[in-house]
Chain A
Amino acid sequence: MEREKNMFSGGRKYSNKDITVYWKPDACVHASYCYRELIEVFDPGSRPWVDLNGAATDRIIEVVNMCPTEALTWKWNDEAKNENISIDQTNHINFRRPELVGQKESAVADNPVTVKIMIDGPVVIKGNFRFKYSNNDKEMKDGIISLCRCGHSNHQPFCDGTHRKIGFEDI
């Protein structure tokens, strides 16, 4: 019974008194920001792996917004607060998944492209966009790309994780 309550189409959801966090495993690219930043809440070694009582709500929202995909999204339990979400709340479900708050159209924008500069890491771009590099010219539909910012990837222009080996810090 409890298990069914925690399901939604495509994943699971978790709540505390303030917010609900949606977990959609198929969308995860294992950027690992969630558990590196907040193991008290996102612990892959525990079941359930998300415990929204492990940290303050503000901090949980901050870390969910770091997720470069929509594997983790969130909303306020108070539906009135889900309208007019500011643009820095990039993983609020209004950005991509308004159906989860029962809205037909996003309150923020219509599937906006998000460009995320990850901390000491790549730039991650998500959405519908045209992507030109070398002699390639591609239309990306609901695409996601992760591009090198440290200059040391061996798979340019894409990130291959080298930034961590060289200790890249963009100051």
Chain B
Amino acid sequence: MENNNDKKDGVLIEVIDDGPLKITGNFILRDLKRDLADTPEEVYICRCGRSSNMPFCDDSHKK
């Protein structure tokens, strides 16, 4: 049995300079436009407004 220590570590919200928003941990992701509800362990949310894979980062900020 794996223990739940990782899960108790909580949620980390990290703003990457000139990059996306990194979110890790136990959280509920809800996208109201695309009617998405999920519990991913790690996501990168676009912060530049130009991603072709909203709401996620697709590295468009580097272009």
A residues apposed to B, CB below 8 Å: 65-66, 86-88, 90, 109, 112-120, 123, 125, 127-134, 145, 147-152, 157, 168, 170-171
Contacts and interface: CB of A to CB of B under 8 A. Distances in A.
A129 B23 CA distance: 10
B6 interface: no
Given A90-B28, A151-B47, A130 B33 contact: no
A99 to B, nearest CB: 20
Nearest to B40: A115
Contacts of B34: 117
Contacts of B39: 87
B21 A123 contact: yes
Given A113-B26, A113-B27, A171-B54, A129 B13 contact: yes
B28 A117 contact: no
9 contacts: A90-B28, A113-B26, A115-B30, A117-B55, A125-B23, A130-B10, A145-B13, A147-B15, A157-B21
B37 A129 contact: no
B30 to A, nearest CB: 5
Categorize the interface residue count of chain B: 35 or more
A131 B54 CA distance: 22
Contacts of A145: 13
B49 A116 contact: no
B1 interface: no
**7 nearest A-B residue pairs (beta carbon):** A88-B37, A133-B15, A151-B49, A129-B11, A113-B27, A170-B54, A117-B31
A151 B29 CA distance: 20
Contact of B12 (A114, A130, A149): A130
A118 to B, nearest CB: 6
Interface centre among B21, B23, B43 (most CB of A within 10 A): B21
A123 B10 CA distance: 19
A168 B55 CA distance: 13
B59 to A, nearest CB: 14
Contacts of B47: 147-149, 151, 157
Contact of B45 (A129, A149, A171): A149
